[in-house]
Amino acid sequence: MEHAESEFRSKPCIHSKEEMIIWLMNEYGQSLVRVAFTYVKQEQLAEDIVQEVFIKCYKNLHLFRQESSYKTWLYKITINQCKDVMKSWSFKNLILYNFTGFHSKPSYDKSPEEEILFYEEAKHISSKVVSLPIKLREVIIFYYYEEMKIEQISDLLGINQNTVKSRLLRGKQQLKKKLERGEQYGR
């Protein structure tokens, strides 16, 4: 509950439902797209899913009971929306070619060459993370990319904290093997 309270302190004064949705979109939109992307592996589809999430959020904002943070609530809606899309006939029959990876912000401390090398390495690691089984992938993404705590991930996914820890460990082990195999074969 302390996270939800700190969220309210950082939220500007909001007077309408529309202002609230705009604030939520600005605050969490990019994170939700990254999360959706880890499930569906298509950037455009991830953006469409997040758009649907915000439509559901707008329609159901009055149902938010503040038992968790808005971020956690939106993540749950996003995960459920992704799972619904993945169960659909159209998703199962699509060939997923569009992999663009995670986008990082440019650093002005690095030379253009260093920036390109960093981007290529991040893209390579991201592609390996996305290739993990979903149960391992989601905890890796939430822990490392979204910087969530074990307890938050446990609450979000509705699983035991020890399960989160074991999935993190297995995910890191599989990721390490994939990265080593890639180096062995020149990526």
Q: What are the two backbone dihedrals, phi and then psi, of residue 95, each rounded to the nearest 5 degrees?
A: -100, 120
pLDDT of 148: 86
Instruction: Express as a percent the part of the chain with pLDDT over 90.
Output: 30
**Tell me: the pLDDT tens digits for 57-76?**
999 888 887 777 888 899 99
- Residue 133 DSSP one-character state: -
**Tell me: the pLDDT tens digits for 111-126?**
777 777 776 777 777 7
Structural domains of the chain, with CATH: 1-100 (1.10.1740.10), 109-179 (1.10.10.10)
Instruction: Provide the 3-class DSSP secondary structure of residue 21.
Output: helix
Read off the tokens for 98.
């569009």
- The distance of Cα 34 from the centroid of its chain, to the nearest Å, equals 4
Least confident of 97-106, 148-157, 160-169: 97-106
Give the predicted TM-score (pTM) of the model. 0.56
Q: State the average pLDDT over residues 67-93.
A: 81
pLDDT of 126: 75
